[in-house]
A and B are shown apart, each in its own frame.
Chain A
Amino acid sequence: MIYLKYGIWEDGAVTWSDSQAFNELKFIRTPVSEHSAGRTLTGKNYVHVVSTRYEWNLVISADELLDANKLEFLKKFHFASVWKFSLDNWANSTEVTIADGSQAIDLIEGSKYLPEIQYIFTQKDAEPPLTIEPPSVEEPSIEEEE
């Protein structure tokens, strides 16, 4: 189950909609990163990692869209300016933006009665820069002489 909310800016603050729950047909998380890359005159490639985020590909099945309330929610969802989702009924949530290709409608078997809707969410805030802890080196134990 995925819970969605949308919001609009009003007088410098966000007004959030009520939550709407969906049974997701597909909800896949993939990491994406933005690079600044090239090749120097010495022939060496370089890659600067500018930012790292997650993307989610959400597909909502035709069964869910039979519910007129849910369909109405998704129409408003698309025209909003801020978005967030939760997987635990808002104990935790993630703010996202919606990327190109969202709300692409796929008609199953060409039937207009069986539409599936796809969303591509992009994490709004970048992930903290990746840091890797150096491997810990165990101090050799000194056995006391008996």
Chain B
Amino acid sequence: MSVYLQKKTWQEDGAGLITVLFAISDSYEELFEDGIYVDIFDFEDIGKSIQADVGGFVTAELKLNIDESNVNTTLEKDVLAFALQGFKQETKRYIALFINPTETRTEADLLFYGIIQPDFENEDIYWRNRTEYDGDVNSLKMWRLIAKPYSSDILEGFELKELIEAIPNEWIEENVKHRPGYYRELRAGDDKPSITAVLNQFPLDALLQEIARLSSEIYYNKTGINIEIEFQHSPLDGKFFPARWNTATKEQGAVAQILTPYRYVKSPVNAKSYETYADDGQELILVSDAVIPDIQRIWLNFGIVGHTISEIEPQKGAAEHYQFTQYKTFKDLLTAIAIAYGVYVSLELIGDILYIKFIRRADFVRDVVYLRSAIASKTKITALDFSNQTKYVAEANYLANEGLKYYNVDDTLNEFKDRKVTPSRTYKALSDNAKQLPFSLSPTVAAIYPGYDNGENFLGMAADDMAYLPHNTSHAKITYPPTEIIELESKPFRTVEGVHSAMYLNCVWSSWHTNYGIEALNYWTHAAKYVVKLRGVNREFNSLADYVNFLQVNDTDNAKYEKELKSPYFLGFSQNADGSNPSWDALQLGSLINIEGIEYVVIDISYNFHNLEVDIKLSALSRFDYDDVDIEEFEEEEEELAGEIPRAVDKFTFYIADENIPANAIVSLKNNGRIEFARPYESHYRRILGFIKRSVEAEATVPVQLSGTFPIPDDWSDLIPNTIYYLRWNVGSGMFAPGQEPMQNFKLEYLQGRTGEEVLHCPVGMAVDTRNIQIFKNFPDQAIFQFNADN
């Protein structure tokens, strides 16, 4: 264990003494400890930047030179040898550069941290052997080393295919499952109810964690070095919206169409086969160091991974072009994922742990920084050349493009292995300047002819009818209520299963959906829409490729006005407009700088220790000006859509129940953030939250309706229009077993004083007709009776 230090000082005009302390060690921890001072390193410059592509890596590097003619003492020779050992995998050399460090150096003093990279170069400056024609020259060299915050060999040292093939069956059994689909049907007279299963779903974050674990394992087996990979919490920009599939029968004609087994129509499917709702957006987390709720995970069909190719894959050769195994290394996969979501990847090796974080654009921008002055400022205006620009595509697979598309299944033999697909297209290689994204927004649909599905007709289907079924879903028999394990029927090919790039979402039952009466409480469906808020404007995308291509134009459009500044001050940056408390660390990647009324974001910083200058590259803020998505309604009607997009006027939020609660009840919010059955007691004063439509068991999640119109069940007697209803025990409603309390907790008659335990006066809504109550939002009118009711 060793640490060597070198100091460089200068007096900065207007600031005072600057001390730069360079440290090199064979352990991260020792960089912060006392060591032996030497004077052989020439640290040239430090560069930090983000890659200019749509998404990619955040890079940082330190250029370091060692002139052997300055290496004289035994100590200096030892230190040179110590540094040069950094090119070996097993002898990592950690580098740190501190600016004006405190006596006990901390990470807050770090201008740069990195590891000497295995690839470096040297140049002979002198041959000590003066004999001509003698190859034994005994040279003095100038060594040029580079340090970066990570060593990429663990991400690039072996092929991704090798890692994917090593995924153990235990992981697959635990993570890859048929999940409940958008629709369940309780068939009368059958031995088990059935459900639509979304096939072989797994969470992307779990796969990344597993590939990371396997990378560490294989790296250790090959090098004997133990490095763990840890992902840090990485949320994505904007919100994704699930496709809420419609169901319909032939009788309803072409307006609403089917999409479940036993539902069918004649005409081709159109966009009304699913709907997206403005209140339905989900903020997703790409990967995290904590447990991610299912509703915030990215779900995919396991076929995309390339671990195996299913026997029923219609075109196996074509499928390979859409699988993760198309990427050579794990780093290539991470890059592809970053591009697909327009985010940046930061890597940092601290000790034996490689930390990986995806940085969304909204988080990239930091505080405003004020620049003391500059010795050069230039604006680079570059003519755009779109002809050479990469065009991103996100085909669902070889059968269908991204978006709502369908293909035909021609299954004349009813045999599992002989299934045939009549695609509207076949696989065609992309042009040289086109790149396939790993994921897509693709609610793809298979069109199936009657009689050709598992030898069983859909009920009532005529010979020329067709049923339209979402890709990678199947009919399954289940135990109700659904568990995670779904038993598929014996021949699970009521639709085509195969490699597909669609993102799926886990979502919760929604009462605003037209199918809510038959929808599963918690289920998986295709992601259909992505919305980000850029420069204060919600931008809707029905295609991930559209989003990435939009980013590219957006980035390029702004990059053509890139600005470069050169500051002669290392301490010439302040977070205060008056320049007070200037420091070096006020300037960071993502800092905002305002020049001539234009806000720029810092995308590149380079500290030059020879010239004592800081070079800064700026890009217009508009590239990164992301905000939280808050949609009242979708602004534009999609071109493909026939009819009106449903507008969600009812406001819902999801809560976990703290106890069993009956259906069609008012609930209260507890101090622990969970909900309970609302009771007209003093303890519920100011805790009344909203209505729930369905019964819920303790620990389960349920949507609570906070505002809008609440429909009462069909078997309830009519309401009296334009009358107010109150939180009260409705004794005639029957008893709810767990608490032996009335099933209903609201009724027409208001409380006239304390009546037994009932003491809380709370009007909950007004009947707008005989079947619906308009909820009083926030229930503002509440009181506790202090006197008894007259009996």
Residues of A at under 8 Å CB distance from B? 9, 11-14, 36, 38-42, 44, 46-51, 129-131
Contact = CB atoms under 8 A, between A and B. Distances in A.
Contacts of A38: 375, 568
Contacts of B9: 129
Interface stretch (B69-77, B177-185, B479-487, B664-672): B69-77
B789 interface: no
Nearest to A34: B10
B191 interface: no
A42 B612 contact: no
B11 A12 contact: no
Contact of B13 (A14, A41, A47, A129): A47
Nearest to B377: A41
Nearest to A126: B9
Contacts of B11: 48-49, 129-130
Contacts of B76: 12
B562 to A, nearest CB: 18
Contact of A48 (B10, B73, B74, B376): B10
A133 to B, nearest CB: 14
Contact of A49 (B10, B14, B75, B374): B10
Nearest to B18: A48
Nearest to A42: B373
A41 B374 contact: yes
Given A46-B13, A48-B13, A48-B568, A40 B74 contact: no
A129 B11 CA distance: 8
A51 B569 CA distance: 17
Interface string B559-572: 00000000011000
Contact of B14 (A39, A46, A131): A46
Contact of B72 (A12, A40, A49, A131): A12
Contacts of A49: 10-11
A47 B77 CA distance: 35
B641 interface: no
16 contacts: A12-B72, A12-B74, A12-B76, A36-B568, A36-B611, A40-B374, A40-B375, A41-B375, A41-B377, A44-B373, A46-B569, A48-B10, A48-B11, A48-B12, A48-B568, A49-B11
Interface of B: 9-14, 17, 72-77, 373-377, 568-569, 611-612
Contacts of B77: 12
A30 to B, nearest CB: 20
Question: Looking at A11, A36, A47, which has the most chain B CB atoms within 10 Å of its CB?
Answer: A36
Contacts of B14: 46
| The 8 A-B residue pairs with the shortest CB-CB distance in the complex, in nearest-first order | A12-B74, A49-B11, A40-B373, A46-B13, A9-B72, A36-B612, A50-B10, A42-B373
B735 to A, nearest CB: 82
A81 B116 CA distance: 31
A41 B373 contact: yes
A42 B567 CA distance: 12
A46 B74 contact: no
A70 B415 CA distance: 108
B550 to A, nearest CB: 36
A57 B718 CA distance: 111
Question: Looking at B12, B13, B14, B374, which has the most chain A CB atoms within 10 Å of its CB?
Answer: B13
A39 B374 CA distance: 9
Nearest to A40: B373
Contacts of A47: 13
Nearest to B9: A129
B483 to A, nearest CB: 69
Nearest to A36: B612
A31 to B, nearest CB: 14
A39 B373 CA distance: 10
Contacts of A129: 9, 11, 17
A33 B699 CA distance: 74
B73 A12 contact: yes
A9 B140 CA distance: 14
A39 B73 CA distance: 41
B73 A13 contact: yes
A93 B612 CA distance: 33
Contacts of B74: 11-13
A38 B376 CA distance: 11
A135 B529 CA distance: 70
A47 B13 CA distance: 6
A45 to B, nearest CB: 8
A125 B373 CA distance: 32
B375 A39 contact: yes
Contacts of A48: 10-13, 568, 612
B486 to A, nearest CB: 68
Question: Looking at A13, A38, A130, A131, which has the most chain B CB atoms within 10 Å of its CB?
Answer: A38
A51 to B, nearest CB: 7
A108 to B, nearest CB: 37
A117 to B, nearest CB: 27
Given A9-B72, A12-B73, A129-B11, A41 B376 contact: yes
A78 B732 CA distance: 114
B72 to A, nearest CB: 5
Given A38-B568, A47-B13, A48-B13, 13 more contacts: A11-B74, A12-B72, A12-B75, A13-B74, A36-B10, A36-B612, A40-B568, A48-B10, A48-B612, A49-B10, A50-B612, A129-B11, A129-B17
